[in-house]
Structure 1
Amino acid sequence: MSLKNVSSYSIIILLVAVACGKSDQRAMQGPPPVNVAVHQVTTSDAAYYDEYPAIVKALNEVELRPQVSGYITGIHFKEGDKVQKGQALYSIDQQQTEATYKQALANLSVQEANLEKAKKDVERYRELDRQDAIAKQQVDYAEATFAAAQQQVEAAKATVRAVQTNVRYSTIVAPFNGTIGISLVKLGASVSPGQTVLNTISSDDPVAVDITVDQQEIYRFTQLLASNKPSKNDSTFRLAFRDQLYPQPGKISVIDRAVDPQTGTIKMRLEFPNPQHTLRAGMSGTLQVVSKTQRSVVIPYKAVNEQLGEFFVYMVDSAKATQRKVVLGKQVGRNIIIKDGLKEGETIITEGIQNLREGSAINVAKPAAAPVAANK
């Protein structure tokens, strides 16, 4: 081998050795520090809304059913109309009822005539009895006939009243102010007393909103019931349908008498004004109930890291990142309430956490300003 070739090999070996030395040096130094932003933990008041599945119901609702049999001869409303108490809604064929009524009146007239005859007879027999001109037994018979005639008249009057009731029942009227639905029968349909459903009427202002809550919240809602003083600006109870809020505030109407022993829950009813009739019975939505906390630890939600169902934040410890487990509370806008795990004055990492591991070296930027608690 020539001297030139030996020199070339020496240079190559030297370059490889230098490169390996630099690689070993970088390996000993570890990965570069992660650039992060930090936040100093503070406490503040926070307000948020607890949410409960809710169903809109009518405060008054009744199915219209006939109390006499017959055929529908008249429908006196437009489906979906607002109706007033006492307004005629349906008419049922009255021919048979009217015939029965006339027969009852005729029978009453007969019984009243019999009573008048019996009355005259007993008066005449009494006068003869005072003169001792008639047998006592005949007077007794006359008295009995008169008493029986009186009873017959009362029975005939009761029959007339019963038939009159059936005549009134031949016209179905609205029991209260409300909205009537789609008719379930048409003209000429045969109906049976107590069985055929004609229609349904429901009140529409105000309306009820029913929710079910855990028994542990009874005390809270009892206090809210005691302080029920809703106003236009009150936002204690709000009704939401997806992303839309109903503009009118509500109030608690009633808390059910007992807890369901099987579920450990209790039913509650709220009232919401419905002047525009936009709320309809059967609608489902979300009832939002305001809840307030005092001096709670509130941090940016983006600082929270979830691992296997547990939640952690990264703390700053001597230019390194270290994890700490926390217990989350309610989310308040872009922030989150921390129930346990953090104290006021501690420093957490809010940005760059996706590149962090336990013990990662960090470059800390200027701390961010404390978040302001906001209503959801």
Structure 2
Amino acid sequence: MFLTSIKTWSVISCAVLLAACGGKQTAQQAGPPPATPVTVDEVRSTDAVYYDEYPGTVVALNQTEIRAQVTGYVTAIYFKDGDKVSKGQRLYSIDQQLYSANLDQAVANQQVQETNLLKAQKDADRYHELDKKDAIAKQQVDYADAALEAAKKQVAAAKANVNAVKANVGFATIVAPFSGTIGISQVRSGTSVIAGQTILNTISTDDPMAVDFPVDQKSFYQFAKKETGKKANDSTFSIAFGKDIYPFYGSVNTIDRAVDPQTGTIKIRLSFPNKEKMLKAGMNTTVRILNADGGQSIVIPYKAVTEQLGEFFVYVVGDSSKVSQRKLVLGNPIGTNILVKDGLKEGEKIVVEGMQNLRQGSVVTTTQPAPQGQGGAAAPKK
């Protein structure tokens, strides 16, 4: 029994050794894996014309909130929501009864003080005449002069009070501070408003309109250089809403005074014509700045690029038709192509189709495999 087991294990061991040797011999006969068929393209440089893009916001060049300057009830509204209004046009009225009554009282008080001043002036004149004749004590003359000065100050105070109350009467009628478009009213007739707190409406200009966007301080000088050489009707500055391009070009209106220390950006404001009223304050847009410096740039088909964990690569064909994966720094897309800022040189060959079957060190060929059933022969040309 024991001898039989030994013979059985010997036979199994020999079979395993023969199978291993046969597999090794088969692998040696098979040779290296076949080359992967791909499509390659040569890297070239060209005069790239593209747009630098920034997120922007449409804003009004002039906009202000209309607030009540006196407390009371809204008694009248003189416009329709969304109307075009002119500077000085009447917009709202707030109940003036209280302020008119206060004005009448202030005017009456001023008249009383003016009467007192007239009496004090006459008393002072009379005492001075008596003083010339030594017919009155000097102290009485001094009292008369002091009363005259006090009366003058009381008249001045009364006049100031009249002006203040008169201003409140004027503030009860609210007018447009400038010409523009008024929004939807936040109050209606009968609404109680509080001075300095209640927002009645918002008025803004709408032609031209502005677009604000931040620019990194590193590229600010390049941006400013473009603006220096800008000509009328230049297409350097444009905006887009999704795939729709706004049909009018813009120009620089304002550059902010300083760089934001937290973000390292500076705000730029562009101005765009808006006769068709297509731009509305608060809209989000994409600012497009034409970059046409005339320099040679590397541009490759975007389909040749693969992405891994937020980084971008291409397969570069090297010696012996072996490929290596090369990391790229990409720029702006240009149609179906992409600008390459770093990672490739002119004249290198890259894989543009078939990269899904590749890995580092794979051997490639540009010859496509023959269709099945052709015995390895090339497909006939049509």
The answer for the alignment partner of 1:359 in structure 2 is 363
SS of aligned partner of 2:313: strand
Using a 3 Å threshold, how does the CA distance of structure 1 residues 340 and 195 change in structure 2: closer, same or farther?
A: closer
Does 2:345 match 1:343? yes
Using a 3 Å threshold, how does the CA distance of structure 1 residues 327 and 194 change in structure 2: closer, same or farther?
A: same
The answer for the alignment partner of 2:155 in structure 1 is 153
SS of aligned partner of 2:214: strand
* Aligned-pair CA distance for 1:83: 1.1
CA distance in structure 1 between the partners assigned to 2:192 and 2:46 by the alignment: 69
User: Is this contact kept in 1: 2:329–2:343, CA < 8 A?
Assistant: no
* Aligned-pair CA distance for 1:313: 3.2
Amino acid at match of 1:211: F
* Aligned-pair CA distance for 1:42: 2.4
CA distance in structure 1 between the partners assigned to 2:84 and 2:133 by the alignment: 73
The number of aligned residues is 338
1:126 aligned to 125, 128, 147, which one?
128
2:49 aligned to 39, 43, 47, which one?
47
* Aligned-pair CA distance for 1:324: 4.8
SS of aligned partner of 1:216: coil
Using a 3 Å threshold, how does the CA distance of structure 1 residues 230 and 201 change in structure 2: closer, same or farther?
A: farther
Q: What's the TM-score once normalised by structure 1's chain length? A: 0.80
* Aligned-pair CA distance for 1:78: 0.8
User: Is this contact kept in 2: 1:314–1:353, CA < 8 A?
Assistant: no
Q: Deviations over 1:146-201 (max 9, x none)?
A: 21111111111111101110111010111111211111111111111112111111
Q: Deviations over 1:4-30 (max 9, x none)?
A: xxxxxxxxxxxxxxxxxxx99995596
Does 2:219 match 1:201? no
Amino acid at match of 1:87: Q
CA distance in structure 1 between the partners assigned to 2:223 and 2:118 by the alignment: 70
The answer for the alignment partner of 1:257 in structure 2 is 257
| 126-135 vs 45-54, which moves further | 126-135
The answer for the alignment partner of 1:333 in structure 2 is 335
SS of aligned partner of 1:274: coil
User: Is this contact kept in 2: 1:250–1:273, CA < 8 A?
Assistant: yes
Using a 3 Å threshold, how does the CA distance of structure 1 residues 289 and 337 change in structure 2: closer, same or farther?
A: same
Does 2:244 match 1:240? no
Q: What's the TM-score once normalised by structure 2's chain length? A: 0.79
Amino acid at match of 2:247: P
* Aligned-pair CA distance for 1:285: 1.3
Using a 3 Å threshold, how does the CA distance of structure 1 residues 327 and 196 change in structure 2: closer, same or farther?
A: same
| 291-300 vs 91-100, which moves further | 291-300
Q: Deviations over 1:128-160 (max 9, x none)?
A: 222333332222222122211111111111111
SS of aligned partner of 2:174: strand
Using a 3 Å threshold, how does the CA distance of structure 1 residues 130 and 329 change in structure 2: closer, same or farther?
A: same
Amino acid at match of 1:55: T
User: Is this contact kept in 2: 1:321–1:362, CA < 8 A?
Assistant: no
* Aligned-pair CA distance for 1:228: 6.8
CA distance in structure 1 between the partners assigned to 2:230 and 2:168 by the alignment: 47
| 117-126 vs 89-98, which moves further | 117-126
* Aligned-pair CA distance for 1:116: 1.6
Amino acid at match of 2:279: L
CA distance in structure 1 between the partners assigned to 2:148 and 2:231 by the alignment: 68
1:57-136 alignment, distance < 5 Å:
57-136=59-138
Amino acid at match of 1:75: I
1:246-285 alignment, distance < 5 Å:
246-285=246-285
| 185-194 vs 248-257, which moves further | 248-257
Q: Deviations over 1:70-117 (max 9, x none)?
A: 111110111111111111110011111111111111111111122122
CA distance in structure 2 between the partners assigned to 1:348 and 1:201 by the alignment: 58
User: Is this contact kept in 2: 1:75–1:91, CA < 8 A?
Assistant: yes
1:213-224 alignment, distance < 5 Å:
213-224=215-226
Listed as ranges, the gaps of 5+ residues in structure 2 are 1-25, 369-382
Using a 3 Å threshold, how does the CA distance of structure 1 residues 132 and 224 change in structure 2: closer, same or farther?
A: farther
Moved over 6 A (4+): 23-26
Using a 3 Å threshold, how does the CA distance of structure 1 residues 253 and 344 change in structure 2: closer, same or farther?
A: same
| 267-276 vs 235-244, which moves further | 267-276
The answer for the alignment partner of 1:303 in structure 2 is 304
The answer for the alignment partner of 1:168 in structure 2 is 170
User: Is this contact kept in 2: 1:321–1:361, CA < 8 A?
Assistant: no
The answer for the alignment partner of 1:231 in structure 2 is 232
CA distance in structure 1 between the partners assigned to 2:126 and 2:116 by the alignment: 16
User: Is this contact kept in 2: 1:324–1:341, CA < 8 A?
Assistant: no
Amino acid at match of 1:264: G
% same residue: 55
User: Is this contact kept in 1: 2:323–2:363, CA < 8 A?
Assistant: yes
| 119-128 vs 179-188, which moves further | 119-128
Amino acid at match of 2:119: K
Using a 3 Å threshold, how does the CA distance of structure 1 residues 265 and 157 change in structure 2: closer, same or farther?
A: same
Using a 3 Å threshold, how does the CA distance of structure 1 residues 33 and 142 change in structure 2: closer, same or farther?
A: closer
Amino acid at match of 1:274: N
